[in-house]
Amino acid sequence: MFRSSIKLFKVFGIEIRLDYSWFIIFALFAYY
């Protein structure tokens, strides 16, 4: 689903991935 995704960490064997666009969204929420 997410081609530009990186593996952040594994939780109980489940790979958690985030799309790069989410980092921008998180940055905006953190800024405001």
Structure confidence by residue, pLDDT tens digits, 9-21: 555 556 656 667 7
Residue type, 20: Y
Range of the domain at 17: 1-32
Query: What's the length of the chain?
Result: 32
How many structural domains comprise the chain? 1
The DSSP output letter for 2 is: -
pTM over cut 0.75? no
Output the pLDDT for position 24: 83
Q: Which residue has the higher pLDDT, 4 or 30?
A: 30
- With contact defined as beta carbons under 8 Å apart, do 30 and 14 qualify? no
Output the pLDDT for position 32: 79
